[in-house]
Amino acid sequence: MSNLILKSAAKYIAISTLLVTMSCSTDATQKLDKRNWQLAWSDEFNGTLGESPDATKWVYDIGTGDNGWGNKELQYYTNRPQNISMDGAGNLVITAIKENFQTASYTSARIKTKGILEQKYGRFEARLKTPYGLGLWPAFWMLGDNAEFPTWPTCGEIDIMELRGQQPNIIQSSIHGPGYYGADPITGKNTLIDSRYDTDFHVFAVEWDESKIDFFVDDYLFKRIERSEVEARGNWVFDHPFYMILNVAVGGNFLGNPNSLTPFPQKMTIDYVRAYKKG
């Protein structure tokens, strides 16, 4: 083979390699429209060890609810410090315990901002670390302020973060409304590679306006739901105020029940919860 042919072949290989390298490269930084958020409400959970959540910011759900809060869950929600209290280090801790209490075999806690913070549109976020194990169901989510009046899901539901404890590296974010609810919501998942959501804190957020709902993990947008996509399935029911909810459920339709190998107690540790409005 002549030197000229060898040089041409080498040049072709170099150019081909460059093209392949360029075509496989990715932009690691998302380019989103600039947000101008202003803090509207927050709880930093800076109470003393054993202190209950601030009653001016949160109210409790107590008991087993109707049909296990509609999901065949197994826990009894309480307001006891052993189920929900500050750790004295700037966090609120919700603890699920295996114990016989009232009519249930497990206890946990669920709090909400209903009647206190109910906001239409904005950014809502929490920095937290999840529990893990088969049958553990931590969640940070929202319901429409009219939830007690129409039959769910007409009020609308926004699940900012929920996790199956047996899959501690995957979170799911969803919306529920007429035509897309229960086991068939509009949803997206975010999976950690070589890591888990129970081993470190992560920031889970939703940004929501009249035309779309965006879900984030650590400020990475992993799921956008456009109003047009929703209206192709059913009714858009997200033009009124919603309130936030934090809870750890045990068992239920979403993930199945614990077994003898599920470790208890299990904790969801929340550093802060914040709500923003557009500036």
Would you please indicate which residues are annotated as catalytic (active-site) residues?
157, 162
d(CA 208, CA 214): 6
Q: Enter the tokens of residue 142.
A: 């929202």
Cα separations (Å) of 214 from 8, 50, 158, 187, 202? 50, 35, 11, 11, 17
